[in-house]
Amino acid sequence: MVSLILSVIMATLMYFINAWNKNTKPHERKKRKMREKVELVISRTKAELRKSVELDIPDQSEFLKNGSIQHVVWMEEMAELQQAISKEMRGKLNRDNLVEETADVIICIIQLCEENNITAEELQSMINYKHERNLKRQKESDLYD
């Protein structure tokens, strides 16, 4: 399940990075450097995902009793990860903060899955679909020309 969640996070990161590059229209040299950084992050992430990841995540049901307040917490945690990624992209990496925020988001995703009865099979099916769609978009994108 954790591998699936990391795959979802990687796909989400790719989406935001692609959208950011398309919207900012950076100078070609900057674009090339950004593409190299993205490819490095992706290759590192893929290498980590290929490892057998075993995390012992405690039962999250206690936090799900908070109702809609927990939804706000999820949004806040995801925004904090987004901010950590943004800082990394600007060359201001705080690795400890990035690890912390990634852990928070993984916990949030697990809570979200538990609350909505989302199965590993459903996630895997959607990850496969999104992966194929992203490959198609990547081939069509001028970002990777």
* % of the chain beyond a pLDDT of 90: 10
pLDDT: which is higher, 31 or 115: 115
CA 22 – CA 143 distance, rounded (Å): 8
pLDDT in the model for residue 116: 85
pLDDT: which is higher, 136 or 66: 136
pLDDT in the model for residue 96: 92
pTM metric for this prediction: 0.57
- Whether 24 has a pLDDT exceeding 80, the answer reads no
pLDDT digits (tens, 9 = 90+) for 118-131: 888 888 888 889 98
pLDDT digits (tens, 9 = 90+) for 32-91: 676 677 666 666 665 565 554 566 777 777 777 777 788 888 889 999 999 998 988 888
